[in-house]
Amino acid sequence: MEYPFLNPVESLQRYAQESPDRLSHMLLGASEQENQSLTYRQLDAEVRKIAAHLQSVAEPGERALLVYPTSLEFVIAMYACLYAGIIPIPTNPPGLNRSAQRLEAIARDAQASIVLTTPEYHQAFLLQAEQFPEFAARKWITRDSVQAGGDHALLPPNITPDTIAFIQYTSGSTNIPKGVVISYRNLSYNAHAIRQTRRHELSDDSVILTWTPLFHDMGLLTAVFQTVIDRTPSLMMSPIMFMQNPLNWLRKIQKHRVTASGGPNFAYELCVRKIPLEKCEDLDLSSWKLAYNSAEPIRAETQQAFAEKFAPFGFRPKAFAPCYGLAEATLEVSSYTNQPKTIILRVKRSDFEEGKITPAGPNDEKNTVELVSSGAPLIDIRVAIVNPQTRKRCAPNEVGEIWLAGGNVAEGYWNRPEDTEHTFRAHLADTGEGPFLRTGDLGFMYDGHLYITGRLKDLLIVRGRNYYPQDIEVTVEKTHPALRPGGGAAFSITKDGVEHLVVVHETQRSQMEGVDWDEVIKQIRANIARDHGIRASAVILIRRATVAKTSSGKIMRSEMKRRFLEDELEIVAEWRAPIL
Amino acid sequence: MDRNQVLQKVREFTLNELLKNPNYDLKDDEPLFSSGLIDSFAMAQVGVFIETEFNLYIPDPELTVENMDTINQITDKILAELAAQQ
């Protein structure tokens, strides 16, 4: 099927003409007086200033690092690059007292000649100029330097579906960061995919609120691009405001009659756990029509608890939209919404551990795993479930690696032909069908819906049985309230040729008074054995906020394993089997 | 700890935690796993029970249905390990 080409640059320029005074973006402050906003006309004018300056110092196709907190300046800088034909690279801004090492690595990998940032960051990086001379020598541009730069005429960029729109550096992994190249075609297909998810919500009265980081695909594609393409006012607040108090999120939804907002599963979990009901008295969430849940495994119990807690305040369970996506596919791959309840599939645990999907019968009560649907693939995305070893399609009831094809699949990794070939150009071994994107995620299709069961490289295989680390991590965190939700890492280590399960979990300070940690560890060991039929060979409880996560909040299990092996964990209490 | 004390602890654990039925009339020689009374999943629970209750670690290769199919066998294994420790 053909989809019309949606180009955010064209959208912004058109709305600046057609609806110049309509709200484009608003940065929400702690109080309403601190809000800052831009209409389409204002945004377009600000963008043109920087874009003209960029064209005067760089050639089209050059890369620019963008180093900003959540701000209107970031949005202006993104569009300024697109207007000027410069390729923007949003980055996770380090604290002002932190090393520029990661930014320097990205700038080097992308051969970025320009750094766009705030005067404050520029000052902070100047202090590190001796340490990173190459990075400091790039063309640094801030709002101050542009005002000093004078007037240049802006030449319209030549944008086709093949033009590179931006490069998204994937967060976190211990390897060197890889830049996913997103074309305007990818942006356009992704915009159609999101529209499909938004179909119950999208109207002239829509308002989107984003608090997830803008350098990450979910925040970037939603707050910067989709809102402009769909002419939806884009409200933004900093992730810190959410983390300080999740009620801030819900209050802003109420205040601004927000219709679409979301986050990873942990955000809903935090709302359930951290918001006291007595603070909710006049809360009104009735405007909220689309509550997307993506970027980490979706838990049915979280959604249910959230719905139960906030339904009295006007939250509609039908608003939930579980999604699956990844930066290598721009953002969104599958979703569903407008369902009264989370769609769950109950399968036999014994078969599941062997990679087989068998719906559980009424007598399988103890032998059951619940899996949450990630919805149906959107627009024209094709999904193949593939055995990662043989590279042949799995049988319909088998778990395999999720391979994808479609217009939202990115062009590849910047300047990495081998990685691109391996990840983006996979073909089935028997039929030669392809190319497919290898997602590295495991899952299966059932009844037209995609179910994600884990990460290929994180899968624990102990004595021939498959265990999903996230399942074990949930068991651990449920053992005691002093264990931080989402703060665990389960992985396996090899000792004398045998695989052993190790679990590491964060404690939380607020709950630590008078806790008998040895007793908690005993309980953890018993619960893992009961729920998973495996013994942990080590249980390590670590200090709060010391579990390694990517900037998007995914647990870095391989990094935690490295710290375990190299004795770098900050241990509160531990137990190890004598064989370790 | 004499044999009867150990056996009573194993019996209690088996009835309460594995069978979830304190009133079940469990014989000391009744096969637990090979009979299908309990699934093999529960072997890990037996292992953790022995670790936490008796401070003994039975390595995986010894934690098998063959060695641990009845509460008598489990008891004897615990006693043998306790004796080996001294």
| Model pLDDT, residue A172 | 43
Q: Which residues of B touch A533 (CB under 8 A)?
A: 40-44
Task: Sketch the domain layout of chain A as residue ranges.
Answer: 38-158, 344-456, 459-576
| Residue A143, both tokens | 């709002």
To the nearest whole Å, the CA of A262 is away from the closest chain B CA by 38
Please write the tens of the pLDDT for every residue from A33-74: 999 999 999 999 999 999 999 999 999 999 999 999 999 999
Phi, psi for A70 (deg, rounded to 5): -60, 120
- List helix spans (H) across A198-348: 217-219, 227-230, 239-244, 246-255, 265-274, 300-310
* Closest in B41, B48, B59 to A579, CB measured: B59
To the nearest whole Å, the CA of A514 is away from the closest chain B CA by 21
Q: Is A535 part of the contact surface with chain B (CB cutoff 8 Å)?
A: yes
Q: To which residue do tokens 């209409």 refer?
A: A39
Nearest-Cα residue of chain A relative to residue B47 = A535
The helix/strand/coil state of A311 is helix
| Model pLDDT, residue A98 | 64
Distance CA A466, CA A463 (A): 9
Q: Is A525 part of the contact surface with chain B (CB cutoff 8 Å)?
A: yes
Percent of chain B having pLDDT more than 70?
Answer: 100
To the nearest whole Å, the CA of A482 is away from the closest chain B CA by 21
CATH homologous superfamily for the domain A344-456: Luciferase; Domain 3 (2.30.38.10)
Q: Is B54 part of the contact surface with chain A (CB cutoff 8 Å)?
A: no
To the nearest whole Å, the CA of B57 is away from the closest chain A CA by 7
To the nearest whole Å, the CA of A541 is away from the closest chain B CA by 17
Query: Are A526 and B52 a contacting pair at CB < 8 A?
Result: yes
- By CB atoms closer than 10 A (0-12, 13-18, 19+), residue A137 is exposed
The secondary structure element, H or E, covering residue A27 is strand A23-27
Q: Is B64 part of the contact surface with chain A (CB cutoff 8 Å)?
A: no
CA dihedral A355, A358, A360, A363 (to 10 degrees): -100
Q: Which residues of A touch B51 (CB under 8 A)?
A: 525, 535, 577
Distance CA A332, CA A295 (A): 10
Query: Are A525 and B40 a contacting pair at CB < 8 A?
Result: no
Q: Which residues of B touch A532 (CB under 8 A)?
A: 44
Query: Are B48 and A535 a contacting pair at CB < 8 A?
Result: yes
To the nearest whole Å, the CA of B85 is away from the closest chain A CA by 13
Query: Are A534 and B44 a contacting pair at CB < 8 A?
Result: yes
Structural domains in chain B plus CATH codes = 3-85 (1.10.1200.10)
Q: Please list the pLDDT of chain B residue by residue as tens digits (86 residues).
A: 899 999 999 999 999 989 888 899 999 999 998 887 887 778 999 999 999 999 999 988 888 888 899 999 999 999 999 998 87
Q: Dump the DSSP string for A59-112.
A: -TT-EEEEE--SSHHHHHHHHHHHHHT-EEEE--PPPTTS--HHHHHHHHHHT-
Spans of chain A below 50 pLDDT:
172-175
* Fold designation for A38-158: Rossmann fold (3.40.50)
Q: To which residue do tokens 């299709």 refer?
A: A445
Nearest-Cα residue of chain A relative to residue B46 = A529
The secondary structure element, H or E, covering residue A521 is helix A517-532
* Closest in A498, A528, A578 to B57, CB measured: A578
> How many CB atoms neighbour CB A158 within 10 A?
8
Distance CA A506, CA A539 (A): 11
Specify the amino acid at residue A244: Q
* Closest in A522, A529, A579 to B47, CB measured: A529
Phi, psi for A371 (deg, rounded to 5): -120, 140
**Looking at chain A from residue 221 to 260, which residues have their Cβ under 8 Å from any Cβ of chain B?**
none
Distance CA A376, CA A44 (A): 36
Q: Which residues of A touch B60 (CB under 8 A)?
A: 463, 498, 535
* Closest in B44, B49, B57 to A577, CB measured: B57
Nearest CA among A200, A406, A497, A188 for reference residue A319 = A200
- Tell me, yes or no, if the pTM score tops 0.95: no
- By CB atoms closer than 10 A (0-12, 13-18, 19+), residue A45 is middle
| Residue A419, both tokens | 């990685």
Query: Are B59 and A532 a contacting pair at CB < 8 A?
Result: no
CA distance to A125, A336, A375, per residue, from A449 (Å): 47, 9, 5
Q: Dump the DSSP string for B9-38.
A: HHHHHIIIIIS--TT----TT--STTTTSS
Distance CA A405, CA A383 (A): 7
Nearest-Cα residue of chain B relative to residue A578 = B57
**Looking at chain A from residue 345 to 384, which residues have their Cβ under 8 Å from any Cβ of chain B?**
366-367
| Model pLDDT, residue A510 | 66
* Closest in B45, B57, B60 to A529, CB measured: B45
| Model pLDDT, residue B85 | 82
Q: Which residues of A touch B49 (CB under 8 A)?
A: 526
> How many CB atoms neighbour CB B11 within 10 A?
15
The CATH code for residues A459-576 is 3.30.300.30
The secondary structure element, H or E, covering residue A209 is strand A208-210
**Looking at chain B from residue 5 to 24, which residues have their Cβ under 8 Å from any Cβ of chain A?**
17
Nearest CA among A266, A358, A148, A361 for reference residue A554 = A266
Query: Are B39 and A367 a contacting pair at CB < 8 A?
Result: yes
Q: Is A495 part of the contact surface with chain B (CB cutoff 8 Å)?
A: no
Q: Is A580 part of the contact surface with chain B (CB cutoff 8 Å)?
A: no
Query: Are A533 and B41 a contacting pair at CB < 8 A?
Result: yes
Distance CA A407, CA A379 (A): 9
* Contact partners, residue B43, CB within 8 Å, separation at least 6: A533, B33, B63, B64, B65, B68
Reported as half-sphere exposure (CB side, CA atoms, 13 A), residue A57 has a value of: 20
To the nearest whole Å, the CA of A466 is away from the closest chain B CA by 13
| Residue A491, both tokens | 């992985």
Nearest-Cα residue of chain A relative to residue B42 = A533
* Closest in B17, B40, B47 to A535, CB measured: B47
Q: To which residue do tokens 């509160």 refer?
A: A572
To the nearest whole Å, the CA of A296 is away from the closest chain B CA by 28
Give the angle A473-A330-A394 at the CA atoms, nearest 5°: 60
**A25 beta partners:** A38, A234
Please write the tens of the pLDDT for every residue from A298-344: 888 899 999 999 999 999 999 999 999 999 999 999 999 999 999 99
